[in-house]
Structure 1
């Protein structure tokens, strides 16, 4: 029987295929709301390739995806941000060493999101408004990282990343109560996503535009946009944030005095959260109208 020893190129190709498959499985877990399974698989995968210097690009790919999962996990579980920051900083270090501009841009964007969510979660835990009038500087780091990421993504012609960066910059301006600027960036994000057919990237700017309409008391527009965001989320098949979409609809229907629809959406949100093992998610999320009211009081 003839033995077969793979060449270096064949071995590398098989290795890359294995990493791609692991990332696909982890991403499927992530999108279906199985956050613990996604994290477990990514941790195991990173351990398997630990110490292999020539496989740094594979490690970077795993770390970026791990960072994306941890960012979402921080928001919906309000856990510790330590692992999140160490993971993203590791990714950034590898990308910089490899002069990987795409990896650097993705890591910078994740760092901006991490700073944003860490500040948001700390505010919610302390029962204070996450909104910060311009000049307080609570979100300065988040903004700086996102602006740098946008510059790199524009140079790379990364349209998906550009749409994401526009949205993330808009979020920072929203937190800083610069609503006109935030709406400008949400519009840009939606336009790029529309042009290139990115339902995932279009969802959040649409949802935040709904929140802005709710803030202004334009309930019909808020409802239209919230329903669009829900439809886009379902099209993108991203389950972790689905409860948040239904909770926003609950808040809008309550503002319109439609208690039946409000109750329906809170029940749907609770069911989806329970399916993901997030039994306290719905109860831990403040009513958006109450949050906006505290924001206005602090202005």
Structure 2
């Protein structure tokens, strides 16, 4: 028997921290359904008066990230994703915890960027050169980077530099994009961060490929896959393999191209998203 409200609050905090770890493990394994179900149930628990706002906020931020990645892969309706992320942002601002405000603002910027990109791709177009798009995403990410620099949040700064580079890459301001990607990698290297090096390397691969430097593109692509695997994040590994497939096809190495395509499909099948890889594969090939 618990002695009172403070003991109940402590037990809730401990339980929700454990649930958050479980949901995060599901997420990294690409088990979206399990991660979403776990987070939905845990958020119901946070309605108890003994639960701290911070415990709820941590779950909302993870839930928003899961929905963001799932939207990018499954191309599902982004309405819930935006709703959850905006709830997280409002709560972070209410309880005034700067690092969580920065995380929520960055997540909202990333959501705006991804939703815009998916909308453009689904219309049959490519996202490059669209100067009329991504302005909200840019503003949110610039705000997030400023907050993270003030907080000396190395992981957050690396992430924000990558996401800013992504927008500039879409705008075809390639030199500025490369600067942000390289800064993201340098910050991650200096602070022993692994997973944060995957995405900037993958997009430097696209940049090198578009410049016709296939050897450099291959190097970046291999680094992206290495850091993704080392960081244990499975959802984007099919994208890394498809990107390498495209480089090997351009180099005329059909055997290695087929190997990476098979690996992408095996991983997608394991995560239950194989039916969505056709669209992702076609978009990758068009770069």
TM-score (normalised: structure 2): 0.96
CA distance in 2, matches of 1:133, 1:72: 22
Per-residue CA deviation, residues 3-56 of structure 1 (Å, 9 max, x unaligned), is: x53344333222111111000000000000101100110011101222638521
Following superposition, the deviation at residue 291 of structure 1 comes to 2.7
Residue from 148, 165, 185 that aligns with 2:180: 185
1:77 is matched with which residue? 74
1:130 is matched with which residue? 127
2:262 is matched with which residue? 267
Task: Please say if residues 246 and 285 of structure 2, whose CA atoms lie closer than 8 Å, have aligned partners that are also in contact.
Answer: no
Instruction: Give runs of aligned pairs for residues 102-251 of structure 1, distance below 5 A.
Output: 102-134=99-131, 136=132, 138-251=133-246
Task: Please say if residues 12 and 51 of structure 2, whose CA atoms lie closer than 8 Å, have aligned partners that are also in contact.
Answer: no
CA distance in 2, matches of 1:286, 1:30: 22
CA distance in 1, matches of 2:118, 2:172: 18
1:18 is matched with which residue? 15
Task: Please say if residues 237 and 264 of structure 2, whose CA atoms lie closer than 8 Å, have aligned partners that are also in contact.
Answer: yes
Change beyond 3 A, Cα 1:49–1:268: same
Following superposition, the deviation at residue 282 of structure 1 comes to 2.3
CA distance in 2, matches of 1:288, 1:81: 19
Change beyond 3 A, Cα 1:53–1:105: farther
Q: CA RMSD in A?
A: 1.4
Task: Please say if residues 251 and 288 of structure 1, whose CA atoms lie closer than 8 Å, have aligned partners that are also in contact.
Answer: no
1:276 is matched with which residue? 271
Total equivalences in the alignment: 287
Task: Please say if residues 145 and 160 of structure 2, whose CA atoms lie closer than 8 Å, have aligned partners that are also in contact.
Answer: yes
Change beyond 3 A, Cα 1:221–1:288: farther
Task: Please say if residues 67 and 88 of structure 1, whose CA atoms lie closer than 8 Å, have aligned partners that are also in contact.
Answer: yes
CA distance in 1, matches of 2:280, 2:222: 19
Alignment partner of 1:280: what SS?
helix
Does residue 62 (structure 1) correspond to residue 56 (structure 2)? The answer is no
CA distance in 1, matches of 2:29, 2:281: 24
Alignment partner of 1:127: what SS?
coil
Task: Please say if residues 223 and 252 of structure 1, whose CA atoms lie closer than 8 Å, have aligned partners that are also in contact.
Answer: yes
Task: Please say if residues 205 and 217 of structure 2, whose CA atoms lie closer than 8 Å, have aligned partners that are also in contact.
Answer: yes
Moved more, 9-18 or 32-41: 9-18
Change beyond 3 A, Cα 1:276–1:38: same
Per-residue CA deviation, residues 82-119 of structure 1 (Å, 9 max, x unaligned), is: 00000000011111111111111111011001100101
CA distance in 1, matches of 2:96, 2:283: 42
Following superposition, the deviation at residue 288 of structure 1 comes to 5.9
Unaligned runs of 5+ in 1: 293-299
Alignment partner of 1:285: what SS?
helix
Change beyond 3 A, Cα 1:218–1:250: same
TM-score (normalised: structure 1): 0.93
CA distance in 2, matches of 1:198, 1:150: 17
Unaligned runs of 5+ in 2: none
